[in-house]
Amino acid sequence: MAEALARTLAAPPRPTYRTDRSFEWNHANGPDFAGPWPVVPETPTKDFFGLAVRSRFGVAASIVLNSRWTETYARLGFDILTYKTVRSQARLCHPPPNWLFLDDRSVAAGLADRETPLALAARPPADPRTATTAGSFGTPSVAPETWQPDIAAARRALGPGQALIVSVVGTARPGLSEADFVAEYGALAQTVAAAGADLVEVDLSCPNVARREGEVYLDPRLSAAIARAVKAAAGARPVLLKTGDIADRAQMAAFLEAVAGAADGVVMINAPSRPIVDGAGAPAFGAGRERAGVAGGAIKAIALRAVADAAAHIRRRGLPLEVIGVGGVASAADARAFLDAGAYAVQAATAAAWNPYLAAEIKAAAPDI
């Protein structure tokens, strides 16, 4: 089996998400993967919020756009799969381009400052699996009448030892009260749970949507209200909250204390929001889309620090929460680093798109993950 896996992984992967096409095209036609299929190593069963899984590794809310994507990544050996964020109403994606590579030197010099513009790469990176990217999608969603039956199909596509998380987000709009905003999350949770979600993830942190949707995690009171509404509606299903980077430890502590007892886990981190410019210094994604989410290799250090800070506070206070680490995971060593920092499980996004064999590689190198 080891020799067969090595031969499979020697084939150079290409991205499953066509960055030269629109989100809608990828939703309708993707994933762009025709094999070769890896021989996925057998691994011991682990516990994931009471569910038996073959690994504590999977795909974050990003590229699992529908049941076809779910089926493909499940067959590739990714065991904890997050169905891309859904809304209570249809919303189109931002126009292309949506996903671009960033210049390594610009990222190294400016990522630490939230307001320093980061520049696009002049040419594709030598190894896109570990590269840093900028994404500007706007959390699109098909209509509920489309995603409800498709979530059921996605759940049926999973094999033994795999779990389906479904991500939800409320839609901020003029005149919507806070009470109705919170209630919308609850209604979404009830719907995705009925459709087949094993766990419900609440997106509190999209980097390129309306501020009210994208920065909920910075408001502990509102985050807790949403968590309680989702928990009440999700039945016995575990509830996860996805946050952005919370650099201030006091702010991190306030968030964790507020949501403990309502949520079962936190997913850290979503792509940090930064200004993105082209070679001429103009907004790379066009006017009105000056900021985008930074993902991939360079955010690993930020994500590791966030996970370590959260896990340390949870242990110190004995809070009933687990942490799922996301950000820059491209190898078994990266996944191990997050687990060592206190993560309960680990997910990838960018690397999973450019390396569909990542789960098989991790299982071969570290079957205990």
Write out the catalytic residue numbers.
206
The answer to whether 294 and 270 have CB atoms below 8 angstroms apart is no
Contact 213, 180 (CB under 8 A): no
Would you give the DSSP letter of residue 357?
T
Q: Per the structure block, which two tokens stand in for 325?
A: 């680490």
- Angle made by CA atoms 141, 147, 153, in degrees to the nearest 5: 140
Coil/strand/helix, residue 242: strand
CA–CA distances in Å: residue 318 to residues 119, 310, 313 = 42, 12, 8
- Pseudo-torsion of CA 223, 227, 230, 232, nearest 10°? -140
Q: CA 59: distance to chain centroid?
A: 7
Give the chain's length.
Answer: 369
CA distance 259 to 245: 16
Q: Starting at the earlier edge strand, list the strands of the sheet with 273-277.
A: 99-101, 132-135, 291-296, 273-277, 118-119
Q: Cis peptide before 36, with omega less than 30 degrees from 0?
A: yes
In eight-state DSSP terms, residue 54 is S
| Residues in CB range of 86: below 8 A, 6 or more apart | 141, 142, 144, 147, 151, 166, 167, 168, 169, 188, 192
Nearest 10 degrees: Cα torsion 81, 68, 143, 212 = 30
Evaluate the CA torsion angle 113, 115, 120, 124 in order and state its sign: positive
As beta bridge partners, residue 118 has 276
Which residue's structure tokens are 């990544």? 73
- Distance between CA 117 and CA 309 in Å, rounded? 27
